[in-house]
Amino acid sequence: MNSPSDVELSRADTERAVEELLRAAGLTAEHAELVRRSLMFAETRGTNSHGLARLRPYLERIARGGVNTRPTLTESVSGAVHVIDADGSAGAVAGMTAVRAAAQAADSHGIGIACARNTNHVGALAFYSAALSEAGLVSIVFANADPIMVPPGGSEAVLGSNPIAIGVPGGGGASQTPLLDMATTAAAHGKIVELSRERESIPPGWAVDERGAPTTDAGRALAGALLPAAGPKGFGLAFMIDLLSAGLAGGSLGGGIVPVADRFDEPQGCCLVVIAIDPAHAAGLDSFTRADRALGDTVRHSRPVDGRAPMVPGEPEAERARRATGAEALTVTDALHQDLLDLLRGWSISPPALVQKVDQDV
């Protein structure tokens, strides 16, 4: 739902402006296009925490040297396992290199694993899973991040919001294909940044303040830490993701990762693992498609609580992406628009054309 302070920008012109910004900060044209696609993928699916709101810290790290703009990515291969040293490249560059490596190994072996170390923030993991879905592959993607999550019974952040995505063969970001993509914290940190920017409070159960006490104040949550999703279960998942990411890729545990909005002259050193599975090497694509349909139907045709059909993972985002497909306009909040204009002024880049200012709830 749009709000009275939303702004509609020309989508194509916004993409042009974002890519120009990334190039002005120092990325090559090829890398700028990849990062722009990852940000716009998230923005279009309504994953605003990992969309254009990330542009400012990304640009800062690129411009101040924390992102290696001319990286030499190296890869070692053993059977179906690729290990990639991303050489401090932009996250989407490392991520898409890992996607290609895992897909290539799955093609030869039925399964492929690519473990990347020394990357920067990789953004929304659905971007990588959707690419593998389009290639007809099952995917499991996870990454570690700097500490922001308190453990059950603790008051100090020890783990990142370590996200995981699981995708299945089918379409990309706007298709009905199920696609789970989640932080292991109760909410993504970026969502709290976004709510703090909008001066709104956060739901109970998302975060604690500096002293470890529960809070609904977005500002105090940013000074404090996040709670795991579903208590010890989200914590356990985040713990194993950190261990597997660093252990398999030979990179940093979350505790050694440079925070996403700090020390911009240093590479963050995140790790990402991409697992791709070709269902043809298992019970076959038909079996998969039948299971996918049956389970989706079970969920969608189950009894709703308020008249709206229950959804499968990824459906809310896909619905937003479908509505945006072919649309000339991109709706952003006024706060994000102002931030974008400020960045563009700073880099002397012309702003995207305004389609209209939304002046009522729709």
Ligand X SMILES: NC(=O)c1ccc[n+]([C@@H]2O[C@H](COP(=O)([O-])OP(=O)(O)OC[C@H]3O[C@@H](n4cnc5c(N)ncnc54)[C@H](O)[C@@H]3O)[C@@H](O)[C@H]2O)c1
Query: Where does this chain touch ligand X (CB under 6 A) — which range of 45-53, 99-107, 275-283, 354-362?
Result: 45-53
Closest to 145 (Cα-Cα) out of 125, 159, 166, 133: 159
Query: Phi first, then psi: what are they for 143, rounded to 5°?
Result: -150, 155
User: Looking at 36, 50, 82, 100, which residue binds ligand X (CB under 6 A)?
Assistant: 50
User: Looking at 22, 35, 114, 188, which residue binds ligand X (CB under 6 A)?
Assistant: 188
Question: Judged by CB under 6 A, does residue 244 bind ligand X?
Answer: no
Query: Where does this chain touch ligand X (CB under 6 A) — which range of 3-11, 60-68, 180-188, 218-226?
Result: 180-188
- Strand 207-208 with 225-226, pairing: antiparallel
DSSP string, 271-298: EEEEEEE-GGGTT-HHHHHHHHHHHHHH
User: Looking at 24, 84, 92, 182, which residue binds ligand X (CB under 6 A)?
Assistant: 182
Rg (CA), the chain: 20
Question: Judged by CB under 6 A, does residue 96 bind ligand X?
Answer: no
Query: Where does this chain touch ligand X (CB under 6 A) — which range of 44-52, 76-84, 92-100, 235-243?
Result: 44-52
Q: Least CB distance from residue 339 to ligand X, whole Å?
A: 19
**Residue nearer to ligand X on the CB measure, 47 or 344:** 47
Q: Least CB distance from residue 139 to ligand X, whole Å?
A: 13
Question: Judged by CB under 6 A, does residue 313 bind ligand X?
Answer: yes
- The whole-angstrom separation of Cα 255 and Cα 270 is 10
Closest to 125 (Cα-Cα) out of 141, 102, 101: 141
- The whole-angstrom separation of Cα 331 and Cα 280 is 40
Q: Do the beta carbons of residue 185 and residue 109 sit within 8 Å?
A: no
Question: Judged by CB under 6 A, does residue 47 bind ligand X?
Answer: yes
- The whole-angstrom separation of Cα 83 and Cα 322 is 35
Q: Do the beta carbons of residue 129 and residue 89 sit within 8 Å?
A: no
- C-beta neighbour count of 303 within 10 angstroms: 6
Tell me the number of residues near ligand X by CB under 6 A: 27
Query: Where does this chain touch ligand X (CB under 6 A) — which range of 78-86, 124-132, 204-212, 216-224?
Result: 124-132
Question: Judged by CB under 6 A, does residue 214 bind ligand X?
Answer: no
Question: Judged by CB under 6 A, does residue 123 bind ligand X?
Answer: yes
- The whole-angstrom separation of Cα 38 and Cα 18 is 11
**Residue nearer to ligand X on the CB measure, 294 or 360:** 294
Question: Judged by CB under 6 A, does residue 124 bind ligand X?
Answer: yes
Query: Where does this chain touch ligand X (CB under 6 A) — which range of 56-64, 181-189, 201-209, 243-251?
Result: 181-189
Question: Judged by CB under 6 A, does residue 57 bind ligand X?
Answer: no
Q: Least CB distance from residue 154 to ligand X, whole Å?
A: 19
DSSP string, 296-342: HHHHHTSPPSSSSPP--TTHHHHHHHHHHTT-SEEEEEHHHHHHHHH
Residue with the shortest CB distance to ligand X: 124
DSSP character at residue 104: H
**Residue nearer to ligand X on the CB measure, 180 or 341:** 180
**Residue nearer to ligand X on the CB measure, 80 or 226:** 226
DSSP string, 200-215: ----TTSEE-TTS-EE
Q: Least CB distance from residue 221 to ligand X, whole Å?
A: 14
Site for ligand X in 282-311 (CB under 6 A): 311
Amino acid at 256: G
Sites of contact with ligand X (CB under 6 A):
47, 49-50, 121-126, 143, 145, 161, 163, 165, 180-183, 187-188, 191, 311, 313-317
